[in-house]
Chain A
């Protein structure tokens, strides 16, 4: 809200500079976000928090300063001493739930014209455009008291009656009203309207109707000063998409008691400025506000704030706020003024004491805390936090940089990957109000985001990079659950899972040192290093059928040997996707992987048990065999491991060759076996025998031939 300093000083005798006052307001909780110099005056832009509707006005702000500086607050003139005649108007409140009080006054024989300069300038400083003297006065009083008023041209009101109700109350439907901004609006049946004998003439608390607008020909006006239910105004304002100075104040709560003052103040100003005659008043107040009484104990105030104030000091903090306060022995009994509906219980009073004592005067102290949380049995901290940190460390050391992407995706991202119709990655959560159509779903995989990072980086000339992200992915439980009223609340929420995904991009480029491994194995090595870090030794890689991966260069990853648990996949991005992404010209090699972190967790909690170091030396034997080209490495290793001898410590493949000098469909595989006994030094002759037997066993199982 904009507050001109010169106007503010009309209500309090401030002997501080604008800068000091701005600082004071900020420290009272009314942050002065900017101070603009306008015509020798300073206009504050004050951020009024939603709980303080009472301060959406000059007087409200002045009251805070009067309480803070302990100086008196002066109200502008608002007492009407004489009326020129009776009121010939009736008001009928049809909906007392939505309209708690309705007052009005008639002013006749007005001369509509331009406002005097001082009035116009003040409105403009506050960001309100001048219309004519009568309308300007209603706005002026709105700024002064914070209470919205509306002036109707009496000549257009039929039947000398004002009715307050919703279309529902009047049993009518499809109501339209053209508001003073010349927009015809369709009004919901539950929206509170002001009607004359025939038609709607205003949307209550939001905007007046064009049909009763005060214009150059207006002579007599009816000024409305009412209290409308905040929730109702807010709902109507939202459904109409119409926010005004008036609705903004009503939905935060107007002052039901002060509305009379604002009404009379406006009438007096009209008389003074537009030469009108003030007639009688009507005031219907069907829903009285119940006066709240709050007890605040001194001990509680001091305990919560961590200070030691006397009862008198506490009273001094509160006395300027316009509340009625009774002193008790151990506390205060407070009846908040009607404009302070935010004051409802002791904690609200504690905040008032803190504000007017000064947050800066409360000492900063470290708590003497009980140690306990880390010893708790029922700790809520999920081990996934530790796993994530460990994974991050491994990937950073493997040369992958961390990225963070929005959790959104579009269905076209899933289409691009060729994900099958029944795949759960299609079971994505849809956002009702996305910012962009491409971001209308919560992502079910991190890969689409990494592909976008890939495109961005390539288009910015980056030629080699490794990226990873650890984030949640979201899958809906069932698409139906959201529609069912009966679903339990936790069923409404999706399954959130922590995933790790990475991408490795490299263009064919000259390099100083030769790479010796295919990129697939570089990426696979990263995963194996991670497994090693977690002491997971039983895992396997099996050909993957993921639609977006190169069928010959991709694998699904399983933990626990028996192909039981797929935890993710790795592979080169399919050439079809590379083509679709328009990056083919870069001859790129793009490797991706994605792991479900939560599936790894059960395998990470192994307790390490020390193994004694061997005391006796080992003996190694190397052998090359020729086997079918389709026989994969893991089968050979499995075969070697299955040989029944407890002398075999380790076996490794160290060379694979196919091509010239090899028969078609065959390859040469060289492996190394290390033998060791725990209780003695082995003899060469003994191992020759074991090894020969192992090779024979292996050749028989694999249909292989020994190479010399």
Chain B
């Protein structure tokens, strides 16, 4: 009898295809008035000696049915979930919905990189006006009127005394008028010169740097700028300092790096020399210190300046400076 019950249950279970049918089957066998319950009730009609063994058999069948129904239930649930997941399936290869981040202008990326290196070395950042007095742009920097050094820079004038600054060097004087040494700062910004061709634009960017303390030497100038250039262009980049002339520094130096495009072998960009001029520098001319009332016996310092466009052009292999100011989104997006 018990074996029949088991077989009947199994064949009925086999027919079950939905959770509803399974529930019905469950009620039929395990419900309060179900087959198992009925069998258990019939127990009382048996002689007391047979009851325990028969009871045990019925309980075994009950456990067997419960187990099988649970297994079936789980597998039906899984099937249902699979159906649902299948219905919710997306084409994962379709592009996502997003607004691409904007690109920082390559000039400002280069600027930020340079600023980062110098601020790590303890330099602060200063700014100054772009429309400047002749005094700050030239005279305080030891470039008097009618001096041939003025030919080095073509100037946009607003009036006789007011001009668009031709370099970031006037910030040196403005800061020194305000504070006393020791200090070290950089001053990035826009500068203007009356010039336009494939390598010149009427506006471009420079970074000026100044460090003043007791006993600052030319050797320190070399140390700091070498450290900067090695960070910027790689630790193995050759660096050379050669004499030059700026009215506001004495001694003055032009700083070259080994051409990063041809590894100093000589190419079109370095004009075959293997060297690229990258920045101008020098020990602050005592005349400039005198103009801001510093004691030249007590303090010395070095200053440097570099053009950002040139560095960005080298870094990104850009051959026309005007691309920076056309602001074509296809250009900007590359950075």
Q: Which chain A residues have a beta carbon within 8 Å of chain B's beta carbons?
A: 26-29, 31, 33-34, 49-52, 230-231, 234-235, 251-252, 303-307, 345-348, 350-351, 354-355, 359-360, 362-367, 369-374, 376, 378-382, 384-385, 392, 395-408, 429-435, 439, 442, 453, 456-457, 460, 462, 465-468, 471-472, 474, 482, 489, 492-494, 496, 512-513
CA–CA, A399 to B326, complex, Å?
19
CB proximity of A588 to chain B, nearest CB, Å: 14
CB proximity of B12 to chain A, nearest CB, Å: 49
Which residue of chain B has the shortest Cβ distance to A490 in the bound complex?
B133
Which residue of chain B has the shortest Cβ distance to A248 in the bound complex?
B148
Which residue of chain B has the shortest Cβ distance to A51 in the bound complex?
B245
Q: Write out the residue numbers on chain A whose beta carbons fall within 8 Å of the beta carbon of B105.
A: 401-404
The 7 tightest CB contacts between A and B, nearest first, are: A306-B219, A29-B243, A306-B217, A49-B245, A351-B251, A364-B222, A399-B99
Which residue of chain B has the shortest Cβ distance to A399 in the bound complex?
B99
24 A-B contact pairs sorted by A residue (CB < 8 Å): A29-B243, A50-B151, A50-B152, A51-B149, A234-B148, A305-B219, A351-B251, A354-B243, A366-B224, A369-B122, A370-B213, A373-B124, A381-B126, A396-B101, A406-B203, A429-B158, A432-B157, A432-B159, A456-B328, A468-B102, A472-B190, A489-B133, A493-B131, A512-B97
Q: Is the CB of B30 closer than 8 A to any CB of chain A?
A: no
Q: Write out the residue numbers on chain B whose beta carbons fall within 8 Å of the beta carbon of A405.
A: 325, 327
Q: Find out whether the CB atom of B179 lies under 8 angstroms from the CB atom of A364.
A: no
Q: Find out whether the CB atom of B325 lies under 8 angstroms from the CB atom of A404.
A: yes
Given that A31-B254, A381-B126 are contacting pairs, would A251 and B148 also be in contact in the complex, using a CB cutoff of 8 Å?
A: yes
Total CB contacts across the A-B interface at under 8 A: 253
CA–CA, A218 to B210, complex, Å?
60
Contact of A404 among B99, B222, B327 (CB under 8 A): B327
- The winner among B182, B184, B245 for most chain A CB atoms within 10 A is B245
Interface string of B152-164 (1 = CB under 8 A from A): 1000111101101
Q: Write out the residue numbers on chain A whose beta carbons fall within 8 Å of the beta carbon of B201.
A: 406
Given that A50-B148, A396-B102 are contacting pairs, would A369 and B245 also be in contact in the complex, using a CB cutoff of 8 Å?
A: no
Given that A401-B103, A432-B157, A442-B131 are contacting pairs, would A351 and B243 also be in contact in the complex, using a CB cutoff of 8 Å?
A: yes
Q: Find out whether the CB atom of B132 lies under 8 angstroms from the CB atom of A382.
A: no
Q: Find out whether the CB atom of B151 lies under 8 angstroms from the CB atom of A351.
A: no
Q: Is the CB of B250 closer than 8 A to any CB of chain A?
A: yes
CA–CA, A496 to B131, complex, Å?
8
CA–CA, A372 to B182, complex, Å?
7
Q: Find out whether the CB atom of A380 lies under 8 angstroms from the CB atom of B131.
A: no
Given that A252-B148, A462-B330 are contacting pairs, would A435 and B223 also be in contact in the complex, using a CB cutoff of 8 Å?
A: no
Interface residues of B in 135-156 (CB under 8 A from A): 135, 146-149, 151-152, 156
Q: Find out whether the CB atom of A493 lies under 8 angstroms from the CB atom of B102.
A: no
Q: Is the CB of B62 closer than 8 A to any CB of chain A?
A: no
Contact of A367 among B95, B127, B216, B252 (CB under 8 A): B216
Given that A406-B325, A433-B194 are contacting pairs, would A303 and B217 also be in contact in the complex, using a CB cutoff of 8 Å?
A: yes
CA–CA, A296 to B296, complex, Å?
14
- The winner among B162, B252, B333 for most chain A CB atoms within 10 A is B162
Q: Write out the residue numbers on chain A whose beta carbons fall within 8 Å of the beta carbon of B227.
A: 366
Q: Is the CB of B311 closer than 8 A to any CB of chain A?
A: no
Contact of A401 among B135, B148, B329 (CB under 8 A): B329
Which residue of chain A has the shortest Cβ distance to B185 in the bound complex?
A373
CA–CA, A371 to B251, complex, Å?
26
Q: Write out the residue numbers on chain B whose beta carbons fall within 8 Å of the beta carbon of A369.
A: 122, 182, 184, 211, 213
Q: Write out the residue numbers on chain A whose beta carbons fall within 8 Å of the beta carbon of B196.
A: 435
Q: Write out the residue numbers on chain A whose beta carbons fall within 8 Å of the beta carbon of B247.
A: 51
Q: Write out the residue numbers on chain A whose beta carbons fall within 8 Å of the beta carbon of B151.
A: 50
Q: Write out the residue numbers on chain B whose beta carbons fall within 8 Å of the beta carbon of A380.
A: 126, 175, 178-179
CA–CA, A512 to B271, complex, Å?
51
Contact of A304 among B218, B226, B243 (CB under 8 A): B218
Q: Is the CB of B294 closer than 8 A to any CB of chain A?
A: no
Q: Is the CB of B183 closer than 8 A to any CB of chain A?
A: yes
CA–CA, A429 to B162, complex, Å?
10
Which residue of chain A has the shortest Cβ distance to B108 in the bound complex?
A402
Further 9 A-B residue pairs, CB within 8 A, beyond A28-B243, A431-B158, A456-B328: A51-B247, A345-B286, A367-B216, A369-B211, A382-B127, A431-B157, A456-B327, A492-B161, A496-B131
Q: Is the CB of B324 closer than 8 A to any CB of chain A?
A: yes
Q: Write out the residue numbers on chain A whose beta carbons fall within 8 Å of the beta carbon of B250.
A: 347-348, 350-351
Q: Find out whether the CB atom of B129 lies under 8 angstroms from the CB atom of A398.
A: no
Q: Write out the residue numbers on chain B whose beta carbons fall within 8 Å of the beta carbon of A400.
A: 102
Q: Is the CB of B241 closer than 8 A to any CB of chain A?
A: yes
Interface string of B98-141 (1 = CB under 8 A from A): 01111111011000000000000010111101111101000000
CA–CA, A392 to B223, complex, Å?
33
Q: Find out whether the CB atom of B162 lies under 8 angstroms from the CB atom of A493.
A: yes
CB proximity of B41 to chain A, nearest CB, Å: 49
Which residue of chain A has the shortest Cβ distance to B220 in the bound complex?
A367
Q: Is the CB of B240 closer than 8 A to any CB of chain A?
A: yes
Q: Write out the residue numbers on chain B whose beta carbons fall within 8 Å of the beta carbon of A27.
A: 242-243
